Amino acid sequence: MSFFHPEHELHVRRRSRNLGMLGVLFGLVVVIFGLTMVKVRLEGESVGRGAPAQVQVESGASK
């Protein structure tokens, strides 16, 4: 919708399609962003749990 110019007929005709696509793409961005955050956090937690064991092995090997 434009404040200065009347809308082109095509924009009116395809409004539901365009708004629908906007919703789908926005939803997809939200899902992928959320998924990435969760994956990074889960990965961090699993590395955090594994880290002390690795340090022990390394320190044991150096003795």
Partner 1 sequence: MVEVSSYEYPDEAQFGDYCALLKPRVMSLVVFTALAGLLVAPVAVHPMVGFASILFIAIGAGASGALNMWWDADIDAVMRRTARRPVPAGKVAPREAMAIGATLSVMAVVMLGLAANFVAAGLLAFTIFFYAVIYTMWLKRWTPQNIVIGGAAGAFPPMIGWAVATGSVSIESVLMFALIFIWTPPHFWALALFMNDDYSKAGIPMLTVTHGRRTTRNHILAYTVLLFAVAVGLGFTSVGGIVYTTLAVVLSLWFLKGAVAIWRRDEAAAEADNYKVERGVFRFSILYLFLLFGALMLEAALRPYALGGWG
Among 25, 29, 39, 55, binds partner 1 (CB under 8 A): 39
Residue 4, SS3 per DSSP = coil
Among 13, 50, 55, 57, binds partner 1 (CB under 8 A): 13
**What's the CA gap between 28 and 5, in Å, rounded?**
32
- Closer of 9 and 58 to partner 1 (Cβ): 9
Q: Does 16 sit near partner 1 (CB under 8 A)?
A: yes
Q: Does 57 sit near partner 1 (CB under 8 A)?
A: no
**What's the CA gap between 31 and 18, in Å, rounded?**
20
